[in-house]
Structure 1
Amino acid sequence: MKSALICVLFLLCAIGVFGDAETVSVIEGESVTLHSGVTEVQRIDVIEWRLNGNRIVRISGDTIKTNGAYDDRMKLDKQTGDLKITNIKTTDSGLYKLEITSTRGSSEKTFNVSADPSFDGVTVVGVTEGDSVVLHTDTEILKDDEILWRFKETYDIAKMKKDEYIFSTYDNIADGIFRRRLQLDHQTGNIIISDITLKTSGLYEVDVKRRTYTIHKAFNVTITDRLNRLTVKEGVTVTLESGVTELDRDDLVRWRFEHEVVFAKIDKMAGISSIYEDVPDGKFRGRLKLDDLTGSLTITHTTTSDSGLYHIDITSVRHVIFRKFFLSVSCLNDVTLIGPAFGVGVGVGAAVVLGVLLVLVAACVIYYRHRKFQLVTRRDMEKSSEEVLECCSGGGVL
């Protein structure tokens, strides 16, 4: 009796009755690989994947049969039996069940896959040339997770495995374009690429490999523009434009000054718009305005202490945008430079300057004409005097 009970318990464990389904949460458009747990499938093994009870693919020897939901986005690894789903859709959500049958016995694994609606699979990251960018794994890193970062599908640029104390960056690849530019966050697995150039822009991918599945993410890092520069007079109002016409519902906007702490933030998901007037050093107190629609920042009554480097970070699951502005506030009567990234409230001052310039030009014209008239009159008088003297010397006057 006892031996029979042990046998039953063993069989129940083998088919996974006592093990809950592995929960796999991904974003629509991402890719995920569900691992079979075997390193190599034998020719006599039969592997079958089911979705919500319906068979989608079966492999036996060299024969693969597909059915139902299986399409070009699903790839079955013949060697291991792993199932990879690329560009996952919300309709792919459900309970995936793996059955492996062989002469050695049978085993089952179950995955509860949830795909949240969001974006098209590749996060677009806009960054200013020369700036730094942080690419996020966006998942809690477990001790036995293995993280691998790639550039342009060819170059491995970073690897992390906590349980083996592996925290490596490979900045000598691709002719050294990443030399001294890569940094790996040992807690989150995020990678930081500094001093972005045209050569280091492009497609970045990360695989977060776990015991039973792997999450794949992709980022397209593009250079949006160069540093925006602006020079204004003290006292004017200036607006630093976010570069977007309307924020998305899950955007997080953060404004920073000179690489310091965040002094303004918009969290669209939480419906919160915040200005932290105590930082940095309370210099902006009562002079900041945030546009909740676009994320643009307005500074009123500018002072020379407002001069410096401003950063805006806009992040969501769809995109990551970084922009930099260099603002120079002068107490001199400098000419204001106006560009598309800025809005400046200097209309009255500009009109005054223009009026003064017109008056000066008019005065110069009047002076020139008056001076010319004096010279002409003097020449006429000298000519008349010479004629009178000639007449007198010739005896032509009685």
Structure 2
Amino acid sequence: MNIIIKELSEKLDTSAPTLSTLDSYWDGTQPAAYLSKDARDALGTTLTGLAVNFPKLAVTSLAERLEVRGFREAGSSEATDTGLWRTWRRCHMLDASAQAHMDALVYGRSFIIVWADENGPLVTVESPKQVAVKHDPATRKVTAAFKRWATDGQAHGVLYEQDKITRLVSSSNVVDGTGFPSTGWETVEVIANPFGVVPVAPLVNRGRLLDLDGVSEMTDILGLTDALNKLLSDSLVSSEFYARPRRWATGLELQTDENDNVIQPFSNEANKVWISENEGTKFGQFDGARLDGYSDLIATVTNQIGALSGLPPHYIGINSAQPPSADAIRSAEASLVAKANSLQRTFGQAWANVAALIKSAETGEDPLGYDFEPVWASEETRTTAQATDAAVKLHSIGVPLPAILSETLGWTPEQVSLVSTPAVPATPAIEN
């Protein structure tokens, strides 16, 4: 046990700097790149920070298309499981599942822990800053999970294994939630694990087969974002120091003060007139610097960000003279929709495992005996008229009504059950 705790604690420590860097890009507070020391000294405090937050947009544009609307038996066209959905809502998973998707896209992974208390199943969403898992190298199955956190200067931890759950506390103090120990944990309580499996489901944004801890959705555009911020900073500096016309004067005798400092002969106020009593004085101004080169480069980098992230032109501010039509919007969002559909398949298995654990906590049966699948809201942008037209056409070819209402129209399990349950006809009165 101590070996597993040490391994997973060190895994959390090792990943912390990477997660912190991703946090800075998510918040738009990453340090300026490509900025030399001389440039920093010249700018001083005139430009403290500038970030166009395309990494956050790349994540939120996908996360908003990932909405779990219910669960049903895998392969079934019947209505969703209303009892499972009630537990889902009681555990506040309507909002927590969206947060799980967000963290999985930002960090590459998030975690869902299923347990039970006196009120029934308990589901919580966890951050990769606090939870790490161990995989079987042969099957890639989760064999152990460890969560740690700090409260009142002391570290607490829970080790989840297939046969038991161990609550731990550190023998040393933890300052400001940092400096967690990898060893020196003391066991507080050991609880038998009734599930028979580790009750921790990783929600992984997997890039390739061996990316067991996932890949951030922001990775591909971080460098381009730095380049874009650099170009925007340079254009602002140029507009401040060079784009405004600079005036000159010749044949003018300059005056100095008692310290031999040149006295400014003219005022910068707009209502002041420049006058010289010397007939040979000439005035003029230099042409301001053009910023066309910056705008061209900014457009090029922005297009590259859109290509790599799948963000359509109207998301990143590249619009034609005319507003895009509905068909043009659907065509432009094709890559984004395809990516969201792929994520639904990837995340769907994790949510299916969570549903099985919830059902097992309610019934006491083996979670491996359940086979659920999540019902997702449509990942496409549709008007009400388009969705209704699609629903009518699907019903006309025999698609079951519950599937149409939940998947095509996005109804909740409660709404579907009201429609799919036939009304009981009134009993006619019997005359004597």
Does the pair score TM above 0.5? no
Shorter chain as denominator, the TM-score bin is: under 0.3
Larger radius of gyration: 1
State the TM-score, normalizing by the size of structure 2.
Answer: 0.19
More helix by share: 2
Structure scoring higher RCO (CA < 8 A, sep ≥ 6) equals 2
| Structure with the bigger percentage of strand | 1
